[in-house]
Amino acid sequence: MVKFAEAEKRGRSGEGGDRRFAPVMMLERPKISRGMWEALKTHILKERRRKKEELEADAEEKRIRKERENRKKQHAMTLEETREQITKADQKLNDLKAQKHDLVQQLKKVLNEEKRRKDQEQQQHQQQQQQHQQQQQQQQQQQQQQQQQQQQQQQ
C-alpha cells in the first residue's frame, strides 16, 4: 500500500509551490515469513563469505605474484652480478695474459743477452787460448832455435 506524505505540511504541495522537490512516497512492505527471513539471512551471509574468500584469494594471488616478481628481480640481479663477475674475470685474464707476454719478452731478452755474453766470453777465452798457444809455439821455436844455435856452436 502506498502512502503519500503530507507534502502540504512541509510546504511542498504540487500546486503552485516550489517545484524542485517531488512529493515523498512511502512504501509499506508486507512482513516476510520466518523461513524467508532465514533464507535471506543465509543468502546474505553466503554472499559476504564468498566476497571475503574472493578478496582473500585475490590478496593471496597478489602476494604470490609479488613474490614471483621479487624472485625474478633477484634472479635478474644475480644474473647481472654474475655477468659483472665474468666481465671482471675476463678483464683480469686479459691483464694476466698481457703481463705474461711482457714477462716472456723480458725472459727472451735476458736469455738472448746471457747467450751473447757467454758467446763473447767463449770467444775471448778461445782468443786467449790461441794467444797462449801461439806464445808457447813461439817459445818452443825460440828454444829450438837456441838449441840449434848451441848445437852449431858446439860443432
pLDDT of residue 3 exceeding 50: no
Q: Which one has a higher pLDDT value, 30 or 92?
A: 92
pLDDT of residue 9 exceeding 50: no
Q: Where along the chain do its domains lie?
A: 1-30, 32-117
Closest alpha carbon to 12 in 23, 28, 1: 23
pLDDT of residue 18 exceeding 60: no
pLDDT at 7: 45
**Contact indicator for 45, 22 with CB cutoff of 8 Å:** no
Amino acid at 96: L
Closest alpha carbon to 12 in 3, 21, 25: 21
- What SS3 class is residue 88? helix
Amino acid at 14: G
- CA 106 vs. chain centroid, Å, equals 37
26-59: per-residue pLDDT in tens?
777 788 899 999 999 999 999 999 999 999 999 9
pLDDT at 121: 94
Confidence grade of residue 17 (pLDDT, cut at 50, 70, 90): low
> What is the share, in percent, of the chain residues with pLDDT greater than 70?
86
pLDDT of residue 77 exceeding 80: yes
